[in-house]
Structure 1
Amino acid sequence: MGRTHRIGVIGLGVISGVYLKTLREVDDIVVAAVADLDPSRAEAVAATLPEARALSVEQLLAAPDVDLVLNLTVPAAHAEIAEAAIAQGKSVYGEKPLAADLEAGRRVIAAAERAGVRVGCAPDSVLGVGIQTARALVDDGSIGRPIAATAVMATPGHERWHPNPDFYYLPGGGPLLDMGPYYLTALVHLLGPVRSVIGAGSRLRAERVIGTGDRAGERIGVQVDSHMTGVLEHTSGAMSTLVMSFDAVATSAAPIEVHGEKGSLLVPDPNRFDGTCSLRLLGEDGWREIPPRAGIVGASRGVGLVDLLRAGTERRFRADGTLALHVLEAMTALLESAATGRRVKLASTAERPVPLTLLAGIDELTAAR
């Protein structure tokens, strides 16, 4: 593992606590600085970390002792913060999506290539035992040649639980750009990159009511489609059907199903790291659960960042910005198709990340794996 990696965190909202818990458990990572638009929040978080100091965003970006910026800002700021960090010669790992729009995502990746720094991006939940076990079953031919997949996420909306849900209903949000990265990233891991899409979308209502916290009862506007459906054509020839909704009450469908000529596979929630896969082969009467075969046991958000740091120059890290850009293009192509009624071809592609063996924990995630 070698040298200590010094991280600066920008954006200290709800999700930051999960990342910080993961990073505290890794011996060769130190959180050196934190920043937030609310200085008091930065001070409070810094007080919980042994070597961190609270800085302004500008101070953190310029800090010479910060090697990599963990970008946990709202989607609309993802590209701006990433480009500013890259301009300071720092690598970046960010929350999904890579950017709020495709052109901004392309700028981030191009800037990193020019500067010789790395860009990683969530989701890294695909590195847990759920998706990695499914990947192992697809790769070893358990279901035969993959033919099709379905991916379904249905919820009545995040305003029911999130105290500040505004960004979910602004450009860069919505069910597709918020939750879609988990499902599309998993589908690329399982079936390979996407070459074209067809999409359709709708908006159930123009306002949402915050259901919890200090702003409970406040109405917020909806600027994006709150229900999206689409078909993805993978370069492998497989077809995926996608439903992402902030309008539906619930679903009994498996989060992801993959169908092959020899069998079908139920895949657990790609928003989680764990979960059990179930397999049913042609001629069998029922589903059977498959014990974990691959992935990081007990993983949580932040393992993709650890993988980036541990990979060094010896291998390509798995939560790669080029994969995130491909997923972003697939999502924006679905939005374009929904707006125009036309099938949209993608310009980008991405390699399926190197699969994981079964690892007992994050400590086993080294350059050799």
Structure 2
Amino acid sequence: MKRILVSGAVALAALATSAAHAQEVTVGVPIAVTGQFSFAGSSGRNGIEIAREELEKTGGFGPVKLKLLIEDTASDKNQAVTLVDRFIKADKAALILGTTSSVEAFAALPIAQENKVPVLSIASADVTKVGDWVFKATTTPTKIMEALAQQYLERFKPKRVVYVFNRDNDAYIAQKNGIKDYLAANGVATVAEETIVGSDTDFTTLATKIVNQDIDTLVISTTAELSANIIIQARQAGLSDKVRIVGTPSFASPQFLKVGGAAVEGALFVSDYFTEGTSELNQRFVAAYKAKFGVAPDIFAAMGYTQLHVAVTALKAAAPNLDPASIRTAITKVKDLPTVLGNGTLSQTETRTPIYGGFVLTVKNGKFVQL
């Protein structure tokens, strides 16, 4: 096939003509920029912004004119409900990108399901059980944690484990179960399962209980900040350096390093994304993100970036029929999409959850490195 190159003013004119004839579609983005889940939502919003700018510069929207309505849920499930309801009923959004957290998702996404508006959510839990109009933009907690469990078992041969997890968040429960079930099935003893809630700050009693257990592994499944604080307080209570700390993708947040400091050195975790990934796509993404925000992107920025790319791929495939039903069908057909996540290509599956692999990382000298 002969490649035709369009350059200079001709290229700009072509993009302008395409934009002038593009069909507008409204996309609602309820995202947690403030509050408990802002560690994920603020970065996710930034990732969406980088993807939007990239697509605008390259003409990547094709026949679609995107109207993005980005609003803060404040990490409040009631606010998320209000926003999703307004996006669909007042703004006539044909697609929802959100929510950030599972707590918000299970409260708000039934509205989209009821109104038959497709959703792409970066919430960690398996939100697809809300209904067949809800898609995950990231892989399931169980699958990502199983990948960690396999490598951890092979490398470190754990024998006795304590699990600490956030009982008021389905995603963190699922992530805990993802590693626990695999290790238990392979003969690793569960010494104890301790629970916390997202509003907890004092882990003194919990830390004492952990330290008094005969274990070689501590698995923590909660937010980045809470995970770091649990580790700090456990270290202060006398947790041995021989006890390995294992965690969820939440550890991939810079907040984990900032709050945890030296206490989190050596922690192991799995991540959908690694900033140092060597693909050309990731290098462009990192460069653009650093240029705009002054810092490297984290896992949540990569998820937001990917979320918009998946959405636009589906919108372009559905055009000119940009009704919710056509968009939903197009999402199911996203295959081998280049991505900064995992092994570099993303495909939706029949379970409305994508596959792309993951990275097993550790903290070394205050930085994330691949294990």
TM-score class normalised by the smaller sequence: 0.3 to 0.5
Higher helix residue share: 2
With normalisation by structure 1, the TM-score equals 0.38
- More strand, by proportion: 1
Structure whose CA Rg is larger: 2
Q: Using CA pairs below 8 Å that are at least 6 residues apart, which structure has the higher relative contact order?
A: 1
Using the size of structure 2 for normalisation, the TM-score is 0.38
